[in-house]
Structure 1
Amino acid sequence: MSQAARARTAHSRRLSEGASFHLQASIISSFLAGSSAPTALYAVYQSSMGFSATMLTVIFGVYSIGVLAALLVFGRLSDHIGRRPVLLAATLAQAAAMLLFIEADSTWHLLAARLVQGLITGAAVSAAGAAMLDINKQAGGVANSVAPPIGTALGGLLSGLFVQFLPAPTALIYVCLAAIYLFQFACLLQTAETVTSRAGAIRSLVPRLALPSMVRRAVLRTIPTLVATWAVAGFYASLGPKLMRGFGGNHAALLGGFALAVFSAIAAASVLATQKAQPLKMLKTSSVALLVGLLVSAIGIKQTSLATFMIGTALLGVGYGTGFQGSIRSVAALLAPEARAGALSVLFIVSYFSMGVPAILAGYRLTATGNVQRTAEELGIAALVLAIAALLAELRGHGQRSSGE
């Protein structure tokens, strides 16, 4: 076969832009599913390894630290060397990382596995998110918001089902995830690059949080919403099963995964339902949904009413979905292609810091008080203050824009 014929054959085997777009979205979803998979497993790990509530949230939080570190170092790398090489390395490494979870037999091994998982996820999410924006800016903004909660919902629900009904859940779920990552690696081999490589790859590894001037105000305006929504998400993912013991007894693991799945699934549905709405209107909706959801959830906890708590959880999911999508779209609309991965990294840095640190503080408070309901109420009050601050910021910003028109 001639070189030209081989080239035509290779090109014909390339995935279409549509298929490549969905592959990128699936990578974000599957990586986030992997991050939430341990949610229902924490009780199993805690029983076998004997660590405290504080250590439980440290194990959860170290994942966020890994994501933050990777975003700081690798967040802009795909802008220089291309999305494809970063994602090929990430999917293969993530499949290998599942072996760390399967072999984990101590607290330190579990910490190491979560840290490695966070590092790989951080390197992947900004590259996959930027690749979707490269292919379709409008759909990419929506997919960047809907893919993470879909993945989180699936990971939380599946881990609860694995713990409740299947043998060896601390191994079986990671075997399934590793198979998915290997399949994605094989599919990536058939994709085309979406950006042109350019110089400066080594310099891009130096941590830098600088943002283009045209998006700084938009990013600052989204911070209260991001902090509030991701802090709530972190609590559900780390201490949700413990809180569920007050509702479900022996089914706490399943209910904990289910609560996280409801939160995340409603978030994804909210993204899809509001994808044509103005980003600033979504941020305002997010603040209101957070306020009401936190109050309803608090009533459910106080009255030990699972139905009331789940309604509050669903409202919080609306707040998370609209807030995250509004944040991404309000920033992405202002960005040139070569700045997308770097700017998205900043948003993810704020988000994962907000998810990890409050969860660790909540674990510390739970160890000190021994009362998970009280801890949930304290975190709820802090998130309530942030939601009010976010709403006031949006109202003030709307007033300034109206007076300037």
Structure 2
Amino acid sequence: MLMFVFAPDIGWVIAARTIQGIATGAATSAFSASVVEHAPQRHKKLGTIITSIAPAGGLGLGALLTGAAVQFSSQATAIVFTALAVIMVVGTAVAAFSAETVARRPEAARTLIPRVSIPRAARGEFLASIPVHMAAWMLAGLFMGLVPTIIRDLLGLHSGLLNGATAFVEPAAAAVGGLFLGRLTARRTIFVGGVGVLLGTAVIEAGVATGMLSLLWVGGIIGGVGFGASFSGAIRTIAPLAQPHQRAGLFASIYLVAYLSFGVPAVIAGLLIAPVGLRGTVLGYGVAVLVAATVGLVAQYRVNARS
């Protein structure tokens, strides 16, 4: 975060983003496992829901507050990243004083090496969840990565607050959807979420095609609820299949798929804007999300039929 504050050029920004990305990937799986393991036995379900909605909620709040900072301050960069640095210090302190949930083993330093692992008992569910994660996080990448450009270049609107508010809609709806649809069974939550991603993406595509901001917002809300529901349901399905000492590696595998789906398609889309055009790129991106969501629903149906 401090590198972002003092970065003198784009090279430093890229370096800071690389370090921050590695740190996020390394910490998220351990934090997720810790939340589930520290949750009281009667609240394990709530623990898995929290781990699934926290990333989306954080993305949404970050986008909204950043947009407000850009709109109302000339020192937005310093404000945003200094605030994040303070939050990280507090979070690190809390983590440092939290009790360990598994027994310490010899050669503890080796446990600091990042690992992904999928317990045998969870492999079937994990494989069936891959297209679900891909669709949900690709949609999030579309909103966080391309919607500000859509608002500026396709709609001709120039407002930091509007950009932040629009980017906030989808992940905020994801957090709310993941929380309130948690009352459904995990499998049903995935199905509802997958349908939400399909419908939301279709509405967003219509908004891009017609240049209507209202459709982007409506599609973001519907798709966001679908994102939160499908991701939450998938984690609730998979997490109980791992033993406590296996959960960090399993969550690392889940977030590896999630973050690759969040970042890589958005980068590819950015490269395609020049030769294909912004509208064509976004419409093609939406088709890819629709395909992934459809494959995910079919995979979940087959797994459910076998169980």
TM-score, normalised via structure 1 length? 0.71
Structure 1 residue 289 and structure 2 residue 196: aligned? yes
Contact 2:125 2:303 in 1 (8 A): no
Counterpart in 2 of 1:302?
209
Give the Cα–Cα distance (whole angstroms) in 1 for the partners of residues 107 and 251 of structure 2: 19
Contact 1:134 1:195 in 2 (8 A): no
**1:342 pairs with one of 243, 249, 256:** 249
Contact 1:153 1:264 in 2 (8 A): yes
Contact 1:289 1:319 in 2 (8 A): yes
Counterpart in 1 of 2:14?
111
Structure 1 residue 134 and structure 2 residue 41: aligned? no
Give the Cα–Cα distance (whole angstroms) in 1 for the partners of residues 114 and 33 of structure 2: 18
Deviation string 1:23-64 (CA, Å, 9 cap, x unpaired) is: xxxxxxxxxxxxxxxxxxxxxxxxxxxxxxxxxxxxxxxxxx
- In structure 2, relative to structure 1, the CA distance for the partners of 1:385 and 1:172 (3 Å cut) is same
Structure 1 residue 177 and structure 2 residue 80: aligned? no
What is the count of residue pairs matched by the alignment?
Answer: 302
Give the Cα–Cα distance (whole angstroms) in 2 for the partners of residues 171 and 263 of structure 1: 26
Structure 1 residue 400 and structure 2 residue 306: aligned? yes
Contact 1:290 1:387 in 2 (8 A): yes
Contact 1:248 1:255 in 2 (8 A): no
Bigger radius of gyration among the two: 1
Q: Shift of the alpha carbon at 1:258?
A: 1.5
Give the Cα–Cα distance (whole angstroms) in 2 for the partners of residues 167 and 206 of structure 1: 41
- In structure 2, relative to structure 1, the CA distance for the partners of 1:109 and 1:287 (3 Å cut) is same
Q: Percent identity among equivalent residues?
A: 35
Give the Cα–Cα distance (whole angstroms) in 2 for the partners of residues 181 and 209 of structure 1: 24
For 2:158, what is the secondary structure of its paired residue? helix
For 1:193, what is the secondary structure of its paired residue? coil
Contact 2:117 2:246 in 1 (8 A): no
**2:297 pairs with one of 360, 368, 391:** 391
For 2:182, what is the secondary structure of its paired residue? coil
Q: Which amino acid aligns with 2:7?
A: A
Counterpart in 1 of 2:66?
159
Q: Shift of the alpha carbon at 1:351?
A: 0.6
For 2:157, what is the secondary structure of its paired residue? helix
Q: Which amino acid aligns with 2:16?
A: A
For 1:196, what is the secondary structure of its paired residue? coil
Q: Shift of the alpha carbon at 1:309?
A: 1.5
Deviation string 1:208-257 (CA, Å, 9 cap, x unpaired) is: 54421100001001000101111111122222210111335121x32232
**1:267 pairs with one of 164, 169, 174:** 174
Contact 2:61 2:168 in 1 (8 A): yes
Q: Shift of the alpha carbon at 1:207?
A: 6.0
TM-score, normalised via structure 2 length? 0.93
Counterpart in 1 of 2:142?
235
**1:280 pairs with one of 187, 193, 201:** 187
Contact 2:115 2:252 in 1 (8 A): no
Q: Shift of the alpha carbon at 1:298?
A: 1.1
**1:250 pairs with one of 155, 158, 163:** 158
Contact 2:193 2:225 in 1 (8 A): yes
- Superposed, 1:3-402 pairs within 5 Å as 98-136=1-39, 137-204=44-111, 208-245=115-152, 246-247=154-155, 249-251=157-159, 253-369=160-276, 371-401=277-307
Q: Shift of the alpha carbon at 1:125?
A: 0.9
Q: Shift of the alpha carbon at 1:99?
A: 1.4
- In structure 2, relative to structure 1, the CA distance for the partners of 1:200 and 1:338 (3 Å cut) is farther
Give the Cα–Cα distance (whole angstroms) in 2 for the partners of residues 188 and 353 of structure 1: 26
Give the Cα–Cα distance (whole angstroms) in 1 for the partners of residues 123 and 96 of structure 2: 36
